[in-house]
Structure 1
């Protein structure tokens, strides 16, 4: 819906390859899992004041006071974060596709399309820019899918691998500061 005061900017969509051992139902099951997904997207944060809605969950991220909502889509998920007058949205859509080689004997491979947008007051929105790389939550999700496929669909082991990678990333940032 158009607004006189607000403007929305969209980044180019990105498409990420998912591990071939994952099927559509398991990926969609993870994206729609209200208990697991916040731990994947924000591994070192607790979603406080969680409330179930008709289309997903909403709550407040404990370390940043960001209001977050995870909205289930028929073919994916939309993650909406609101802070200080900004609304950041990342949508993940599951895509089916033939293997890159076009070989019909090979199984179909799944891909995940990432669509990002930001909504802000018009004067501020004109200065907003998107990074070329995917946000951390997308990298965490892709890491989880990779670990999940390698660990025989063990979600706890996959979660642990994300937490380890995330803490290593925090240490590297602290060392470079």
Structure 2
């Protein structure tokens, strides 16, 4: 059975395989994701680059703060730049992240959900959308056994844990 657990860390002190964020408009196709420096990496390349030392596993999330706006990054990744981020767009973005995690056999990722939540979209609504994406992914692939998501906001972690537990029950 696939599970998804959330842990709270303001900086990832556990080894982290990748930060899962959609890329900005840097020419990378939708479905690309960034490494800990914000460099675009294509699906399937995370594990290889980490082995080569190109991705410093466990780097602090300070690298992430150099991105202008995570909400804007999501908008760009799902083709909604300048438009409100909908639940559907959020589910799509999260689903891409699960694809990357599964394809690269990632077990622990830093996913700052507090920054994923777009302006005007309630946290509980957004987290419900993410939980439904995870349920859909699990039912379609069945390959992702356990994913640990480290997130920096304690309240978001608690909300996410509750939402995912109710959807995955």
Taking structure 2 as the reference length, the TM-score comes to 0.24
Q: For the pair shown, which has the larger CA radius of gyration, 1 or 2?
A: 1
Taking structure 1 as the reference length, the TM-score comes to 0.24
Comparing both structures, which one devotes a greater share of its residues to helix? Answer: 2
